[in-house]
Amino acid sequence: MTHNTAVPVPAPLDPDAYNVRREPVRDGMQLAFVHEGAGGYPLLLIHGYPETKRIWWRNIGPLAGAGFEVVAPDLRGHGDSDLAPDGMYDIAAFSLDLHALMHAVLGHDRYGVVGGDVGGVVLYDHSLRYPGTVERQCIFNTLAPPLHELYAKAGIPPEDPPRETRPTADYFRRQASDADALLAELDTPQRRRAYVADMYGHRLWASPGSFTDDDIAFMTEPYADADKLRASWGVYEGSTGRKPMADVPRVFEQSPVPTLVLYGPDDHVVPRSFPDQCAVAFTECIGPFHVPGAGHFLQWEAAGVLNRALTYFFGDLRTTSH
């Protein structure tokens, strides 16, 4: 298979910059997803919170141009995808949807996966839930699986204080346990967007200056919708037992899938122990590699680094059948 060796210019801040499809995945619920580079090796890009498929706008074109079939969905309840008819927005529900998208809709038995934040947890579940489906994966700036005994044996100390009790985790506590009251306070589109904008700005998830005002406006626009913002907090409620889950997430065992681990150190939400924990959680760990000058949104902040890393990490798979 041949591919374009030119480096495509990243897409402008235009929601219509790429081909977006909508397809039913489960129970009639439709996922919206960017689909570029059909015929290349399939790469599934999984966004996190507070993100939509737009967080991949600097990656889709270059990866498609490098010979990959890029699939970048909005998770259920996010962006242009449907709200969930069963009201479930947990890790397993996301994973089940994505398997239906990749397997039943697009016809792929094997593919690569990339994810950060919530998308990184979905990635972990997905490759364990469907053994042999994910050939390789790349994870960055998320929570490592809760393998506390293994981490202790490796000499990795627990967080002190735990993440949920830190002053910077107020967003987590309210989204998980006080979501309806929080939404009532965010009673206009402007207030909802301003709340999400904080994650890209003064909360220092990202390296300072990584997002311009226009970038932030582009990322927050989908969250003006009150129902979508409320849905995006479902994964936090599920993680604390306040909402039912489609299934128990597959995050309580080591992963044997070859995994490239990247870490943007300018991140004030992901624990500093993330890289060391990943070296234990993934038995075939490549790295971990620190990416200077990047934080939580590594796919945007260090897009060129990530695009090149993925091109080489998955590169030989472009010549295999799929």
Strand order in the sheet with 285-290: 20-26, 29-36, 68-73, 41-46, 111-116, 134-140, 259-263, 285-290
Identify the bridge partners of residue 255 per DSSP, sorted by sequence position: 282
pLDDT value, residue 243: 86
Query: What is the rounded CA–CA span in Å between residue 91 and residue 210?
Result: 28
CATH number for region 20-162+247-319: 3.40.50.1820
Q: Taking a C-beta distance cutoff of 8 angstroms, is the pair 277, 159 a contact? A: no
Taking the C-alpha atoms of residue 103 and residue 26, their distance in angstroms, rounded to an integer, is 12
Q: Which residues of 161-173 are buried (b: 16+ CB within 10 A; e: fewer)?
A: eeeeeeeeeebbe
Q: What integer pLDDT is reported at residue 4 of this predicted model?
A: 44
Q: How far apart are CA 246 and CA 285, in angstroms?
A: 29
Query: Would you say 34 and 63 are in contact if contact means Cβ atoms under 8 Å apart?
Result: no
Give the residues of the chain that fall short of pLDDT 70: 1-9, 160-168, 320-322
Q: Model confidence over 209-232: pLDDT tens digits? A: 999 999 999 999 999 999 999 999
If DSSP states are collapsed to H, E and C, what string results for 265-300? CCCCCCCCCHHHHHHHHECCEEEEEECCCCCCCHHH
* Nearest to 134, CA basis, from 104, 99, 164: 99
Provide the token pair at 156.
């990795």
Neighbours of 296 (CB within 10 A): 28
165 near 193, Cβ under 8 Å?
no
The domain spans of the chain are 20-162+247-319
In the chain the first and final C-alpha atoms are separated, in Å, by 12
Cβ neighbours, 10 Å, residue 244: 11
Q: What is the model's pLDDT at position 161?
A: 66
Nearest of 123, 143, 139 to residue 299 by alpha carbon: 139
In this prediction, residue 6 carries a pLDDT of 44
| 3-state DSSP assignment of residue 229 | helix
d(CA 127, CA 210): 31
Residue 3: the pLDDT is 44
